Amino acid sequence: MDGKTGWSYGPRCYRVTMRVRVFATVLALLACLIAWIVLRMAGRLHMDSVQVGGMLGAALALGFALVAWTSRLRLDGTRLALRRPWGRREILMAELSGLRSRYARDGRRIPGFQPRIGRTLWLFLPYATDPAYERWLACLPDVDAADRQASMDATLSDRRLGADPVQRARRMARWEGVKRWEEISFLLLMLWTLVLPLPYAWLMLVLAAGPWLELALVRGSQGALRIDLRRNEARPLTATWLLGAPMLLGLRSAFDLDLLEPGRAVWLGALAGLPLLLAVFAMVRDRAGTAAKVFYAAMCWLYGYGVVAQGNVLLDRAASGAIPVQVVARQATHGKSTNHRLRLAGELPASHGEWFDVSASRYEASPPGTSLCVFRHPGRWGLGWLSVGDCPGKASGDL
């Protein structure tokens, strides 16, 4: 048994704190009640997505309560074991390398036990421990500090960053400033995207180019900047535009576009995002773990979906067919943002349904009984899409 990491006390078993267990139980009950109310109300309004959201929220809350009540942390002289509903994870004391730490928003430390081989075992929930556990925890080697020192030594010895350690440190400081300006520019991009997305086509172009611009910036830094999700890295890490722009692009595509075949857009998006994914993997190489690679892949798929969906609509120059419809009802839902919907009656595509998301101006100008047209567009990539506007012969407007 390693003297630095060994457990010299008797066997112990720790449970999640009673406060968290009670909180999880109350949260699960409230989530089930809210889901029941949402299912009843959304069923009458034919809001299937809201129903799914209510059920998903209740399922997550129930899962959290199950984890809080069944998790056990066991310690003895030979091993550390964490039992959770989906399985049991053990680390032999002789194989324990040391301790990693994260911190919650309230300042609580989240300990992570690092074996010599394998992934870190994190205790994200607070456990009702005792002084013996705290003393043992304080004696464990700090793996994060060792990683930070190793990264700093490697950075200051990188000849691409300067002729001597002083020049290398100065260059790192300059690129740290570039990183801060990049973060400020992304905040402005978020405001543009979420508050006033006009001119729309130029915004989509900036969002589509953003990840590639960041990759070019990182390559031009000659090793001073890195795209990485790792902790304890001495070099400035940047992934703001690479990860943020696909999220904003996918968000605008989901809210603004009405595709008739979203399933095809998903598959085409995977193909369209593949070049970006390969470029990212070429930069991170073996520095990214499995979880980070999966996250990069998800963001690149979202980027590809947004590019395909927006290009399909913005580059569509083909003639569209008009379907006369009449407004039967309208609805405005309020939350972090207001969503305006019209219920239309007419010979609509069976795959779409009666409810259409529209802009606030179209909503205000279309009380029940208003005659409108639904335009069916072929799409630049063959992905049909719909828009609502005035019929030919009236004041045109695709709102």
**Segment (H or E) for 335:** none
Residue 154's Cβ-side half-sphere holds a number of Cα atoms within 13 Å equal to 12
Model pLDDT, residue 337:
64
How many beta carbons lie within 10 A of that of residue 364, not counting itself?
Answer: 12
Q: State what percent of residues in the chain have pLDDT above 70.
A: 92
Show Cβ contacts of residue 153 under 8 Å, excluding neighbours closer than 6 positions: none
Model pLDDT, residue 48:
57
Model pLDDT, residue 2:
45
> Residue 320 pLDDT more than 90?
no
- Going by C-alpha positions, the residue among 194, 270, 268, 279 that lies closest to residue 242 is 279
Model pLDDT, residue 224:
87
Residue 107: φ, ψ to 5°: 90, -5
Distance CA 60, CA 31 (A): 9
Model pLDDT, residue 286:
65
- Going by C-alpha positions, the residue among 147, 398, 132, 127 that lies closest to residue 257 is 398
Q: At what angle do helices 165-194 and 143-156 cross, to 10 degrees?
A: 110
Task: Report pLDDT digits (tens) over 17-60.
Answer: 999 999 999 999 999 998 888 877 765 555 555 667 778 889 99
Distance CA 207, CA 168 (A): 33
Please report which confidence band the pLDDT of residue 5 belongs to, taking 50, 70 and 90 as the band edges: low
- Going by C-alpha positions, the residue among 257, 248, 255 that lies closest to residue 191 is 248
Beta bridge partners of 333: 339
Model pLDDT, residue 397:
47
Radius of gyration of the chain (CA): 27
Mean pLDDT in the chain?
Answer: 88
> Residue 336 pLDDT more than 60?
no
CA-based max dimension of the chain: 86
Distance CA 111, CA 379 (A): 52
Task: Report pLDDT digits (tens) over 369-382.
Answer: 999 999 999 999 99
Lowest pLDDT segment from 124-133, 134-143, 222-231, 245-254: 222-231
Let me know: does 24 contact 124? Beta carbons within 8 Å: no
- 2-21: average pLDDT: 83
- 315-340: average pLDDT: 84
H, E, C per residue of 124-155: CCCECCCHHHHHHHHHCCEHHHHHHHHHHHHH
**Segment (H or E) for 275:** helix 274-284
Q: Which is higher by pLDDT, 153 or 207?
A: 207
Apex 59 CA angle, 248 and 33, nearest 5: 105
Q: At what angle do helices 274-284 and 290-314 cross, to 10 degrees?
A: 150
Which residue's structure tokens are 């630049």?
380
Which residue's structure tokens are 């994870």?
89
Tokens in use for 307? 């590019």
> Residue 123 pLDDT more than 50?
yes
